[in-house]
Structure 1
Amino acid sequence: MKKKIVLEEHLTTELNNSLWNSSGESARNGKNYMENVDQKLLDVSQRIAEMDENGIDISILSLTSPGAQSIVDIPKATSFAQKTNDEIYERFTSKNPDRLSAFATVALQSPKDAAKELERAIKEFGFKGALINGYTNIGDENTAQYLDEEPVWEFWDKVSELNIPVYLHPREPLPTQRRIYEGYSSLVGSAWGFAHETATHAIRLMLSGLFDKYPNLNVILGHLGEGLPLMLPRLEHRLYMQREGEGLGKAQRKVSEYFNDNFYVTTSGHFHTKGLLNTISEIGVDRVMFSADYPYESMKTASDWFDQALISENDRIKIGRTNAARLFNF
């Protein structure tokens, strides 16, 4: 398929590289793999060449995880987000406006400043929304603020006003919550831990009442919904059975209704047709979008699978382009 749009595609910046290194990921993923990833995260020309080779028209880029979310110093995190968006615009999107767009980096250590920075990136740079790398560290690396919690609702108020989507991207579980992975460090990140962490985070959003207050919000999940298309029916059934118990949150509707009305999912890093068909059966084809997860995954692997997947051509066009074009006003 030609003219595909992808939207979980990562980059880094010189500033980001000065703060973080990929040694932990190298240990888990292998040195050669991460050297290739690190090189591609900065390379604009190779990215566009691979887009051309694989029928990809537009990429919406975002800063690789954990980004601003793990900077505990509030002024430093806020400054980091501003400088990151400036660099993404200057180095990536302004030079390739027909091919590359971006999600804003925001520092939710200060929801008020995050709202201001989001508005600036949308209005000045033409960015298409925000991508948030999971929870935000508040105080230290073992203290998390999740997106459903009350301090963050000031940020959601701005998201609702701007009427733009937010991509909820995974990050590793808190260091104090990794006991189950001891001895199996390969599971902490993208192989398993990402999905468990992010799916639970998304459920928190559903149960919090957030979408009752802001019914126009759209949250995007990668990796075919982080397992939620399969697990939500079970979750909804058990929550109903526990309806006289505690800890049910403030939601006024069923979790499946929020999933259907307030979430989109992408195929990033999950190139499996049976999983795609199950996802479509739960959320509908109009809320599924193609993505690769470059450079952690290959555009060729993603495109070869998707272009030949046993789905109707009408569905392929929707997933591959028109759903994203509608959501992001391309």
Structure 2
Amino acid sequence: MKGKIVLEEHLSTPLNNGLWDAASEAARNGQAYMDDVESRLLDVDRRIEDMDRNGIDIAILSLTSPGAQSIIDPREAVGFARKTNDEITGKFTSRCPKRLRAFATVALQSPREAADELERAVKELGMLGALINGYTNVGGADSAQYLDEAPVWEFWERVAQLDVPVYLHPREPLPSQQRIYEGYESLVGSAWGFAHETATHAIRLMLSGLFDRYPNLSIILGHLGEGLPLMLPRLEHRLRMQHEGIGLGAAKRPVGEYLSHNFYITTSGHFHTAGLHAAIAEIGTDRVMFSVDYPYENMAVASEWFDNAVIAGNDREKIGRGNAMQLFRL
């Protein structure tokens, strides 16, 4: 299929290089693999060449994890987010504005300033929403502020006013919550830990009442919904049985309704047709979008799978392009 749009596609900047532990990433993922990833995160020309070879028309770019969410000092985080958005515009999207668009980086260490930066990024830089790398470190590397918690609702109010989507991207569990991975550290990130962490974070949003106050919010989840299309019916069933339990009083609707009305999912890094069929069965073709997860994943592998997946032609067009065109008003 030609004309595809992808939207979990990562980049880095020199400003970002000190925020992730390159040695640890190489140990978990392999040195050669990470060397290739790191070079491609900074490269515009090879990205465009790969898009051309694989029928990808537009890529919506975002800063690789953990980004601003890992910066402890609030002032530093706020400045980092603004500089990063300017760098993304200057070094990536302005190079090829018809092909490369971007999500804003925001620093939730200060929700009001995150809201202001999102508004600037959307209205002045032409960005299409925000990508947030999971929880935000507030006070220390082993402390977290999740997106459903009270200080962040000021940010969500602005998101609702701007009417732009937010991509909830994974990051690793807090250091104190990684005991189960000891001896199997390769599972901490994208192989397993990312999905568990992000799915639980999304459920917190559903149960918080956030979507009752701001019913037009749109959240995007990658990796075919981080397992939620398969697991949410079981969760909903159990929550009906436990309806008087702790933390279950704020949401006005069942969790499955929020998944179907407030969430979109992408195929990023999850190129499996049975999984795609399961996602479509749960939330419908209008809320599924093709993505790659470049450069952690390969555009050719993703495109060959999607272009040949056993789905109806009109569904392929919607998932590959049409749904993103509508959501982002492209």
* TM, length-normalised to structure 2: 0.99
- Residue 109 of structure 1 is matched in structure 2 by 109
* Distance in structure 2 (CA, Å) of the matches to 1:185 and 1:38: 20
* Distance in structure 1 (CA, Å) of the matches to 2:76 and 2:254: 39
Give the superposition deviation at 1:263. Answer: 0.1
Does the alignment pair 1:224 with 2:232? no
For residues 66-113 of structure 1, what are the alpha-carbon distances to aligned partners after superposition, in whole Å with 9 as ceiling and x for unaligned?
Answer: 000010100000000000000000000012100000000000000000
Give the superposition deviation at 1:249. Answer: 4.2
For residues 94-133 of structure 1, what are the alpha-carbon distances to aligned partners after superposition, in whole Å with 9 as ceiling and x for unaligned?
Answer: 1210000000000000000000000000011100000000
- Residue 203 of structure 2 is matched in structure 1 by 203
- Residue 186 of structure 1 is matched in structure 2 by 186
Write the letter of the residue equivalent to 1:140.
G
Structure 2: stretches of 5+ with no match in the other structure: none
Describe the SS at the equivalent of 1:247: coil
Q: How much is the aligned-residue C-alpha RMSD, in angstroms?
A: 0.7
- Residue 153 of structure 1 is matched in structure 2 by 153
* Distance in structure 2 (CA, Å) of the matches to 1:19 and 1:106: 15
For residues 118-172 of structure 1, what are the alpha-carbon distances to aligned partners after superposition, in whole Å with 9 as ceiling and x for unaligned?
Answer: 0000011100000000000000011000000000000000000000000000000
Q: Is the 8 A contact 2:19 2:67 kept in 1?
A: no
Describe the SS at the equivalent of 1:38: helix
**Structure 1 residue runs of 4 or more that deviate by more than 6 Å after TM superposition:** none
- Residue 233 of structure 1 is matched in structure 2 by 233
* Distance in structure 1 (CA, Å) of the matches to 2:162 and 2:310: 37
Q: After superposition, where does 1:1-330 map in structure 2 within 5 Å?
A: 1-330=1-330
Give the superposition deviation at 1:56. Answer: 0.1
Structure 1: stretches of 5+ with no match in the other structure: none
Describe the SS at the equivalent of 1:87: helix
Write the letter of the residue equivalent to 1:214.
Y
Moved more, 242-251 or 304-313: 242-251
For residues 39-61 of structure 1, what are the alpha-carbon distances to aligned partners after superposition, in whole Å with 9 as ceiling and x for unaligned?
Answer: 00000000000000000000000
Q: Is the 8 A contact 2:11 2:64 kept in 1?
A: yes
Write the letter of the residue equivalent to 2:73.
D
Give the superposition deviation at 1:244. Answer: 2.6
* Distance in structure 2 (CA, Å) of the matches to 1:244 and 1:120: 42
Give the superposition deviation at 1:231. Answer: 0.2
* Distance in structure 1 (CA, Å) of the matches to 2:202 and 2:196: 10
Give the superposition deviation at 1:245. Answer: 2.7
* TM, length-normalised to structure 1: 0.99
Q: Share of identical aligned residues, percent?
A: 72
* Distance in structure 1 (CA, Å) of the matches to 2:4 and 2:152: 34
* Distance in structure 2 (CA, Å) of the matches to 1:21 and 1:189: 13
